[in-house]
Amino acid sequence: MRNFLRFGSNYSNVKEFREEDFTLNHATFLSKNLDHLQMADDPLYIPAVDRVLKIIDGIGLLFVGDSKMSALDTRAHIQRLNQYYLCPLAQKGDTAKEMAGWIEAANNGTNALQPIYVENEKGERRVFAEGYVFERKISAEVEVDAEQAKKVQEWTERVFVVRSESYRQALQKGLEERLQRATEAARSCPWRYAALR
């Protein structure tokens, strides 16, 4: 499973993940919607999913998107069609409240973190991130027919709680630099310096 995930940049500041040497031998970019330049992205995902499924008739496709794709209606739509999704969860509503507990479970050792490695061209491995996985039950009210009749749809969702090593190191370095500047400022001011002794 070498090179499980590779990073590429498809335009300025957006990272793209590509699956390699895993279940599929390649990933294909099938849909791009430029309407988002004039409106919110959230309502664009369901029509985009439906367009892709007109091109590829299959079950078990993986739809990858940003946090706006994590809207409950979008996830329910993808799941109802027997497809899969991968997206960061938006920090809104109940998820934002639950997320603090997920992070605390990692920090206090309740859920042990597993290292995630990347390998460079020379075969050298380094820790890319740490994280853990858990499952949770999800339910959403969805329309089931043209008359807009609704029913409750339930499914199990896997949540990956991941801490990026480079992001952690950048935060740590920033904290150390701010503490160093604050200490130097305090020492350069005699009346504050006396108070620190």
Closest CA to 185 of 174, 196, 173: 196
Q: How far apart are the first and last CA of the chain?
A: 56
181 assigned to some structural domain? no
> Do the Cβ atoms of 121 and 108 come closer than 8 Å?
no
82 assigned to some structural domain? yes
The residue with tokens 């590509």 is: 18
Residues 99-109: tens digit of each pLDDT: 999 999 998 99
Residues 175-192: tens digit of each pLDDT: 999 999 988 887 887 665
With vertex at residue 49, the alpha carbon angle to CA 45 and CA 53, rounded to the nearest 5 degrees, is: 170
139 assigned to some structural domain? yes
Token digits of residue 34: 């430029």
Number of domains in the chain: 1
Each of the 197 residues of the chain gets a pLDDT tens digit; together they read 333 334 443 433 333 333 333 334 344 545 555 444 455 566 788 888 888 888 887 788 999 988 889 999 999 999 999 999 999 998 888 888 899 999 999 989 999 999 999 998 999 999 889 999 999 999 998 877 767 778 899 999 999 999 888 888 888 999 999 999 988 887 887 665 455 55
105 assigned to some structural domain? yes
Range of the domain at 110: 5-162
177 assigned to some structural domain? no
Closest CA to 50 of 18, 74, 17, 16: 74
